[in-house]
Each structure stands twice: as C-alpha cells, then as structure tokens.
Chain A
C-alpha cells in the first residue's frame, strides 16, 4: 500500500503539475501593454452609434452642450480624476497587469496612476453595498473562462463619461469584459448594460500591443508626459 500510495502521489503530482502549468501558462495576461491607436469617441462593435434611448440622448445632448460652453467640466482631464470604465480602456498610455498576489488581478494605468483591482472568484458586493460606495472604475470581480479573464463590474460613479465626447451612463450601469491574449496582443471586449440610457446592450473592443520593454512612468496633471506620437489618433 505504501508503494502504491507513493506511486499515486508521484503520478498525480506529475500529471496535475503538467496540466496545471499548461493552464497557468494560458491564464497569464500579466505584463505591460500599450494601445497603438486612440479614438475620442467609443467605437461600437458592428459599427454605428451607441444605441442611446430617449433619456440617454437627452443626457448626451446636455453633456455635449455643457462641455462646449464650459458649464460642465471634464474632470478626468481637467484635474485628472479616474476616467471610469470603459473610457480608461481607451487610454493612449501604457498600462500594466499584475496577477499577484493570488486572488486578484490588478490593472495599473500610467495615465494618472489609475488602478483597477479585479477580485477573483468572488461575487460582486450586494446592490446595497455598491450604492453607498460608488467608484469611478466601479467594483469588479473576475473569473477565468478557459484562457479568457471574464470581468463583471458594477457600482459605478455617475460622474464619469463613457468616452471623451461625454457619452453618458447611469449609476445602474453594469459591464462585462472578456479579456484575453491573442498572440502578442491583449484584447478586451466590453459589453455595456445600462437600460436607463441605452435601448440595448452594446459592445466595444480594445486591442493593445504587449510592450514589456516599456516601464510605466510617473504622471501628474498638467505635467509633460511621455511621447504619444506612436499612438494614432492622439491630438495634443
């Protein structure tokens, strides 16, 4: 029995380790990434405009007018508070993903050192808990679906825009992201669910190059920042 136990432990260890390391290798999106293009308006998967409903259209018109006449301030650019999701996904600056410590995936953005912590394999906090603690980038939980990191977020502050044009959302918005490596790129497909502002759920897709040769730099509002000439669509 002793011998077979030893054999069993050895065999299971070796096999599980082999299978496990394959899974771990696939479930690794850690590293530094940098988009090669930027758009101030969010690009809807399948084309067209975000499917605003009547309330959404009214809010968008109000924000657009306010941004134009200065009665509404884009605080994310003016005083550099966090962009919120999904606007942060459009960042023309590099960002870094960490998969340590265990139980969390951390996105650290160079732009205004924004941080998103994805809590792994836990449910989202209750609606009551989210209402009293809104965050620019929401509260996020994640799990692996094969080699894809699935991130669900809720509990967003309504003080952010979905893009630089002022596209609105409500504090009832929830998002679901599917994030995976494709070759040496990272893809994030986000689904926006916000019936208060949109007629139906819609998606946007963001792609980044893996850039482990890049070190994240310091960032402060109104400072001179890194050269973004390699990112198409950035107008400084």
Chain B
C-alpha cells in the first residue's frame, strides 16, 4: 500500500515511526516553529494567548489606596506629578464611595498644589472653569465616558482590560473598543498629521518598551480632570513588567511647553488577567449614551451627515 506514497510520504512515515520510538520530543521544535515571532524580548511578552491587563482589580479587603486609583494616574514619589484633587474637594470615585459609605463625587482639580501651579495660565483658567461646572453638578464625566478618543496618556486610565498584539513591526494596544498603534524601530515622520493618539514610535530597551509620541491634535485631555494641552504635547512612556510579570507598569513623562511650565510624570499599573474568553471589545459606547438626565454632558461624537 505504501508504494503509492510520494517520496516525502515515505520519508515522513519513517520519521514518524522513529519519532514514536524515540518519544514525542522529536516534534516539540515544530510547535516552536509554528509560533510567529512577536519581535519582543521574552521579558515583555504582553500578548500571550488569553492574557489581558486590567487597570483595576477589586481589592479583597477595603483598600483606599487601590480604590482611589480606579481610573487615575499614580503620582511619582518626588518629582512633579499629574493634576489631582485637593483637600477642599476630595474626590470619591464609585469604588472609594463604596468603601467609605459616602456619596461619590465628580472631580475638582486642585489648582494650588505643585501640579496646579505647573499649569500655564490658560490651562489653569480652563480647569478653573471646568471646576465651576462640576461644582454645579454638570459635565463631570470623563472624555472617555462620553465616547471620545482619549489621547495619551489618558488612554491608560481605563480600568478595564487592555489587550496587546505584538509583532516585529508594531505593538497594538486595544482598550475599551479603541486601538492605538506603536510603530517599532522607526524614526518619527518629518511632519506627522495631527491625530488623537499622535504618532507613536517605540523600541525595546532590554525588557522595557520605550514609546515616544508626538503629532497630537489639541482636542483631547491628558487626564480625567479635563486638563487640556496643545499640539506641542510630547509623551514618553516606558512599559515594563514588575511583580514577577504580574503587573504591567506604564511610567510616562508629559511635556508640553504650550500647557505646562515643567514636564511632569505619572504611572499607571495594569494587572495580569488570564481569561481565554476575553477579547478586545467592540466600540459600543455611543450607541445608548445620550444626556438622558439633561446634566450638560458633552455630546458623543456625531456625524451630521454620513461620511460616505
């Protein structure tokens, strides 16, 4: 019967027979060969099957420090950090409110602490106006909650799952129905077209992915307090695994001479979650997100006429 087999069939049959004799170890390298390279160092594989990165994992016991960072940046220990709340108007997100048995609040920025004093006058004024609106109980939602593109670094604030795809050409970050591209080992374009997430180029330094982003439009906010910026915004992010690979640390520096006196920095940690059924989500945000209670919410992005 085997005489009809093509030559490779003969050889393969022989090889399989030998392999069976010698154990299945002979086929192990084949599995390895089938897995396409992701171009990333082994110490920064963020895209293993079934793995995603959660911005918030509910603590097992009440933990104010964890609850507080539900969708906010962590401030650096010593250097200048992001805009925060202040003693006059402590911010209680839903997680904090639940733990402390108090009513949740919207965010009111502290304009007098170090981060507040770092804002150029027009930014300070803009945030001051936003504070007034929020104190009237209006438009306190984040830009993300109103379905707008979030920009950088605000992209990282979402408490949900971030999925990552790594290829030798690019790293794609999927978060809450949005996607962001980081082009690897290439220089910036001469004149990147202004865009929501800017032009991100990246490279690996050991087990750290360093991302440099310019070319932003001026239509996003850098944080959940609605701190504006200009098209001179320049963000450098460093992504690395800590805690034995269970935490993805995103440390970033924000520089915008059109908005801030000095560059400032912050971090946002994401936690490794293994769920083979979790996938990047569809962008469903604008489907049912009208201002049902007439509280001055920003309209969701809407096309007056069909684009094509």
Instruction: Kindly list the 6 A-B residue pairs having the minimum CB-CB distance in the complex, ordered from nearest.
Output: A8-B18, A12-B15, A79-B286, A221-B301, A77-B306, A5-B22
Q: Is there contact, CB below 8 Å, between A114 and B283? A: yes
Could you list 16 further interchain pairs (A-B, Cβ under 8 angstroms) beyond the known A9-B25, A30-B167?
A: A8-B17, A8-B19, A8-B21, A78-B302, A78-B303, A99-B36, A100-B36, A100-B47, A101-B48, A101-B165, A115-B179, A218-B195, A218-B196, A220-B196, A234-B308, A236-B308
> In angstroms, how far is the closest chain A Cβ from the Cβ of B220?
10
- Complex contacts, B197 vs chain A, CB 8 Å: 218
Bound: A117/B281 CA distance, A: 9
14 of the cross-chain contacts (CB-CB < 8 Å) are A4-B21, A8-B21, A12-B19, A15-B8, A77-B303, A78-B302, A100-B47, A102-B34, A108-B179, A112-B283, A114-B282, A115-B179, A217-B195, A218-B197
- The answer to whether the Cβ of B183 comes within 8 Å of any Cβ in the partner chain is yes
> In angstroms, how far is the closest chain A Cβ from the Cβ of B277?
9
Bound: A221/B306 CA distance, A: 10
Contact of A78 among B18, B179, B282, B306 (CB under 8 A): B306
Among A19-27, A48-56, A203-211, which stretch is in contact with chain B? A19-27
A52-81 vs B, Cβ < 8 Å mask (1 yes, 0 no): 000000000000000000000011011111
Instruction: Give the total of B residues in contact with A, Cβ under 8 Å.
Output: 59
Bound: A13/B24 CA distance, A: 11
- The answer to whether the Cβ of B205 comes within 8 Å of any Cβ in the partner chain is no
Bound: A144/B236 CA distance, A: 41
Q: Is there contact, CB below 8 Å, between A80 and B303? A: yes
- Complex contacts, A24 vs chain B, CB 8 Å: 33-34, 36
**Residues of chain A having any CB pair with chain B under 8 Å:** 4-5, 7-9, 11-13, 15-17, 19-21, 24, 30, 38, 74-75, 77-82, 92, 98-104, 106, 108, 112-115, 117, 119, 135-137, 159, 164, 215-218, 220-223, 225, 228, 234-236
Q: Is there contact, CB below 8 Å, between A74 and B306? A: yes
Q: Is there contact, CB below 8 Å, between A12 and B16? A: yes
Q: Is there contact, CB below 8 Å, between B181 and A215? A: yes
Within 8 A of A (CB), among B17-37: 17-19, 21-22, 25-27, 29-30, 33-36
**Residues of chain B having any CB pair with chain A under 8 Å:** 8, 11-12, 14-19, 21-22, 25-27, 29-30, 33-36, 38, 47-50, 147-149, 165-167, 172, 174, 177-179, 181, 183, 193, 195-197, 276, 279-284, 286-287, 300-304, 306-308
Contact of A15 among B11, B183, B301 (CB under 8 A): B11
